[in-house]
Amino acid sequence: MNDLHGKRIVLGLTGGIACFKAAELCRSLVKAGALVQVVMTDAAMQFITPVTMQALSGEPVYTSQWDPREGNNMAHINLSREADAILIAPASADFMAKLIHGKADELLSLMCLARPIQTVPLILAPAMNREMWAHPATQRNVAQLKADGAHVLDVGQGDQACGETGDGRMLEAEEIVEELLSFWTPKCLKGHHVLITAGPTYEAIDPVRGITNLSSGKMGFAIARAAQHAGAQVSLVSGPVSLTTPRGVHRVNVRSALQMQEAVLNAVSQATVFIAAAAVADWRPESAANQKIKKDGQGVTPTLHFVENPDILATVAQSSRAQKGHLFCVGFAAESHDLLAHATAKRARKGVPLLVGNIGPSTFGQDDNALLLVDAEGAKELPRDSKTQLAHDLVEDIAKRLGTPHF
Q: Which is nearer to ligand C5P, 85 or 317 (CB)?
A: 317
The answer to whether residues 261 and 268 touch, using CB atoms and an 8 Å cutoff, is no
Going by DSSP bridges, is the β-strand pair 151-152/156-159 parallel, antiparallel, or unpaired? unpaired
Nearest distance in Å: CB 200, ligand C5P: 10
Nearest distance in Å: CB 143, ligand C5P: 43
Q: How many other β-carbons are positioned within 10 Å of the β-carbon of residue 96?
A: 22
The answer to the question of residue 354 lying near ligand C5P (CB under 6 A) is no
Question: Which 42-61 residues touch ligand C5P, going by CB under 6 A?
Answer: none
Q: Which is nearer to ligand C5P, 59 or 338 (CB)?
A: 338
Nearest distance in Å: CB 236, ligand C5P: 13
Indicate which single residue of 89, 152, 237, 276 sits in contact with ligand C5P (rule: CB under 6 A): 276
Nearest distance in Å: CB 326, ligand C5P: 19
Q: Which is nearer to ligand C5P, 187 or 251 (CB)?
A: 251
DSSP run (H or E) holding 62: none
The C-alpha atoms of residue 340 and residue 381 are separated, in whole angstroms, by 10
Count interface residues toward ligand C5P (CB under 6 A): 14
In this structure, what are the phi and psi dihedrals at residue 312, rounded to the nearest 5 degrees? -65, -45
The answer to whether residues 212 and 381 touch, using CB atoms and an 8 Å cutoff, is no
Query: Is the bond preceding 90 in cis, omega lying within 30 degrees of 0?
Result: yes
Q: Which is nearer to ligand C5P, 26 or 316 (CB)?
A: 316
Indicate which single residue of 83, 257, 327, 390 sits in contact with ligand C5P (rule: CB under 6 A): 257
Q: Which is nearer to ligand C5P, 115 or 346 (CB)?
A: 346
Binding segment for ligand C5P (CB under 6 A), chosen from 51-59, 208-216, 275-283, 360-368, is 275-283
- The string of DSSP codes covering 67-78 is -TTSTTS-HHHH
Nearest to 176 by CA among 51, 53, 9: 9
**What single letter denotes the amino acid at residue 273?**
V
Q: How far is CA 82 from the centre of its chain?
A: 28
Determine whether 162 is an active site residue. Answer: yes
Nearest distance in Å: CB 307, ligand C5P: 12
Q: Which is nearer to ligand C5P, 199 or 246 (CB)?
A: 199
The answer to whether residues 45 and 15 touch, using CB atoms and an 8 Å cutoff, is no
Indicate which single residue of 278, 343, 391, 398 sits in contact with ligand C5P (rule: CB under 6 A): 278
The C-alpha atoms of residue 128 and residue 134 are separated, in whole angstroms, by 10
Nearest to 254 by CA among 208, 198, 177: 198
The C-alpha atoms of residue 49 and residue 104 are separated, in whole angstroms, by 22
Q: Which is nearer to ligand C5P, 33 or 310 (CB)?
A: 310
Nearest distance in Å: CB 325, ligand C5P: 19
194-233 footprint of ligand C5P as x/- string (CB under 6 A): ---x------------------------------------
Nearest distance in Å: CB 204, ligand C5P: 16
In this structure, what are the phi and psi dihedrals at residue 394, rounded to the nearest 5 degrees? -65, -40
What is the dihedral sign for C-alpha 263, 265, 268, 273?
positive
Q: Which is nearer to ligand C5P, 293 or 314 (CB)?
A: 314
- Helix ranges (H only) for 150-256 are 173-183, 218-229
Binding segment for ligand C5P (CB under 6 A), chosen from 90-98, 122-130, 146-154, 274-282, is 274-282
Nearest distance in Å: CB 323, ligand C5P: 17
DSSP run (H or E) holding 344: helix 339-350
307-346 footprint of ligand C5P as x/- string (CB under 6 A): --xxxxx-----------------xxx------------x
Out of 19, 26, 112, 162, the active site residue is 162
What is the dihedral sign for C-alpha 308, 313, 317, 321?
positive
Q: What is the CA radius of gyration of the chain?
A: 26
In the complex, which residues of this chain contact ligand C5P (CB under 6 A)? 197, 257, 276, 278, 280, 309-313, 331-333, 346
Q: Please give the positions annotated as active site.
A: 162
